[in-house]
Structure 1
Amino acid sequence: MTDDVSPDHILQVGFGFWASKALLSAVELEVFSHLADGPRTGLGLQSAMGLHPRATYDFLDTLVALGLLQRDGAGESARYENTPSTARFLDKRSPQYIGGILEMANARLFRFWADLTPALKTGKPQNEIKANGASMFGELYADPARLEQFMDAMSGISLGNFTALAETFDFSSYRTLTDIGGATGQLSSIVAARHPHLQCRTCDLPVVQPIAERRLKERGLDGRVVAESLDFFTDEFPPADVITMGMILHDWNLENKKMLIAKAYRALPPGGALVAIENIIDDERRQNAFGLMMSLNMLIEFGEAFDFTGAQFSEWCQEAGFSRCEIIPLAGPASAAVAYK
């Protein structure tokens, strides 16, 4: 009998950081933006990015082998170009650019994940707080420029999810929507543009409000979507038919998750809906690897914070008084967890 057991998968996962860092460095060096206007030779890219000759072709051909670039020809006359996906999602001039989250992964998370083992043993965060005692959010909100960069990163990765929500969730019977922790107002803007009958508001901390107001004006939605200040730890949520939270609940421990869900329940009318957009883990905890690894990332970032299953969300919401829940798949590993009052 032939032994078909292979170590290939083990080695691929074990050395996965090689491929990851090649992509993250390519984003940092803006490889895909340099190719936005058409194919270029290796020497042309070497000059544009300031690469050392020893590194140029190994780096570019690695991106080809990983399916992140295309190459026509061989040697110094070969010309490199973007793939359809890297042209759409990794060119900084593209409206669908998602590289911001990869920039953050390169600048912060790649190094912090080197300390996953201490996180697993201690349950403690392994980010900036180890060096200076300041939490990630404390650092971000103290620097408006860095805060806006972070929000841009989150906007890129959330675009597909928020668009899918606007297209798949039935908003027809609702008239008002409040997005809690709404950052730049992206979710409210996408939903308002798709459903003109809705009046939307986006709520976040006072330092965020001017950013959201500027972005809403740029989108031509400053009349349809209102930006307001709110501290969701100390303030009650404003009344609305639908309350949304995009990648908010997973940032907190169980006590705070339940507190936010209870505030949403109090702010909703009968028939209203709480919609939490998250990388919802499948109930059997076998399939959504990204959601599970995001939960490990929450361990590294915050310690007690964690991602969760649809069954857990339903349990917490029914405890708060909601009558029923459903999970609506969105883009990739993300879903909308919906609780109806």
Structure 2
Amino acid sequence: MALFKPLSDIGHGLWKAQIFTSALDLKIFDFLGNGEKSEDEILESCGIKNHRGRDFLNSLVAMDLLNKDPASGKYSNSESTQMFLVQSSPDYTGLFFQFRGRVEGNDFAHLTQVLKGENVKNKLTDFNAAYDADPNTPKFFGDYMKSCITFVSQLLPQRLDQFWKSVTTFTDIGGGTGYATIELCKAQTHLIGTNTDLGQCKPVYDEYTSALDESVKSRVNFKSLDFFKEEFPKGQDVIMMGNVIHDWSDEVKFMLIKKAHDALESGKHILIYDFLIDEKNPKNTLDNFLISVHMQTIATGNQFTSEEITKYLTDAGFKDIQIVKLDYNESAIIGTKI
């Protein structure tokens, strides 16, 4: 049976993910954010009317998302749940998991077709069309991406402190709401940042920046840019692309990197942060391989190895390639224009 347990864990993965997503939808973790509650209190407050709601709650306990007091039977959030899944927490990333549970799981239902090379509807090929089809999409996608980059946006100014201290201006290509630009300028008070994305993202950017202290707000700005059709802004010390090139084919990846090269002056820098895969030791980067497969189900992209991204950069005309680990699965890649 020991040999079967890993297979069982994988096979039940979808069930676990859906239980997790439903707990977020029902705001169970938010309800427990102020302390432990009884089963009846949770069921009533969160609108759970199923005849065996406690099985759902106990599943969350078994998954280490909740704690259960053996004496009182009351439930409370686990330490990680309290930190990352309660909306009032500054480290909240619940939307990241909700999006994956609702949307990405459906995309993975087409994985066999994708692997067989069959045409799959609704692959993302044009953000303009996606944003125009539903005016709520820029806000939804922007909030989702914020939850995706919450940690890396905090780590970029910390782990690359000396790099940022050596530059003044930067442009974030495809920066959506501007969250990464804002966090960088908060942490590195000398930086002047430009967030670029499609014009439909501007109202969401304005919402994100409206409450900023003037000392930060005066150093960030938004520039409408369709990076397929337009050239990148010139005169910058750094052009940054975070979780952008993995959306697209190898040809488009190189095209975007070459556009960055053409916009920069000699001695200036490109900075890419993304999820590198390790093909020699796949177990080292399981999450990143999962992301890579996901990118193939929803778009035309994939993740890449350190050797592949280094080749893209050197072929485009960059030198002195540096790769810096930011967290357990994301890295920053820096190149300098020759």
Q: 1:262 aligns with which of 232, 243, 258?
A: 258
Q: What amino acid sits opposite 1:248 in the alignment?
A: V
- 2:197 is equivalent to residue 200 of structure 1: no
Deviations 1:179-236 (A, max 9, x none): 0011111111111111111111101111112221231222223211111111111111
The 1-side partners of 2:208 and 2:27 are apart by: 24
- 2:31 is equivalent to residue 24 of structure 1: no
Q: What amino acid sits opposite 1:309 in the alignment?
A: T
- 2:329 is equivalent to residue 333 of structure 1: yes
2:267 corresponds in structure 1 to 271
- 2:212 is equivalent to residue 216 of structure 1: no
The answer to whether the Cα contact below 8 Å between 2:128 and 2:198 also exists between their aligned partners in 1 is no
Higher alpha-carbon deviation: 19-28 or 7-16 = 7-16
1:84 corresponds in structure 2 to 79
Q: What amino acid sits opposite 1:122 in the alignment?
A: G
Q: How does 1:131-210 map to 2 (within 5 A)?
A: 138-169=129-160, 170-210=163-203
The 2-side partners of 1:145 and 1:259 are apart by: 30
Deviations 1:19-58 (A, max 9, x none): 2111111111111111112111111111112213433111
**TM-score of the pair, normalised by structure 2:** 0.92
1:289 corresponds in structure 2 to 286
1:36 corresponds in structure 2 to 33
The answer to whether the Cα contact below 8 Å between 1:136 and 1:301 also exists between their aligned partners in 2 is no
Instruction: Let me know the Cα RMSD of the aligned residues.
Output: 2.0
The 2-side partners of 1:89 and 1:137 are apart by: 32
The 1-side partners of 2:320 and 2:140 are apart by: 37
1:97 corresponds in structure 2 to 92
The answer to whether the Cα contact below 8 Å between 2:26 and 2:47 also exists between their aligned partners in 1 is no
Q: What amino acid sits opposite 2:142 in the alignment?
A: M
The answer to whether the Cα contact below 8 Å between 1:99 and 1:153 also exists between their aligned partners in 2 is no
Post-superposition offset of 1:293: 0.9
Change (3 A) 1:11 1:160: same
**TM-score of the pair, normalised by structure 1:** 0.91
Three-state SS of the structure 1 residue aligned to 2:33 is coil
The answer to whether the Cα contact below 8 Å between 2:92 and 2:147 also exists between their aligned partners in 1 is yes
Q: 2:68 aligns with which of 62, 68, 71?
A: 71
- 2:233 is equivalent to residue 242 of structure 1: no
Unaligned runs of 5+ in 2: none
Change (3 A) 1:283 1:197: farther
The answer to whether the Cα contact below 8 Å between 1:276 and 1:338 also exists between their aligned partners in 2 is yes
The 2-side partners of 1:320 and 1:172 are apart by: 25
Three-state SS of the structure 2 residue aligned to 1:319 is helix
Q: What amino acid sits opposite 1:243 in the alignment?
A: I
2:106 corresponds in structure 1 to 111
The 1-side partners of 2:267 and 2:251 are apart by: 25
Q: What amino acid sits opposite 1:145 in the alignment?
A: N
Post-superposition offset of 1:238: 0.8
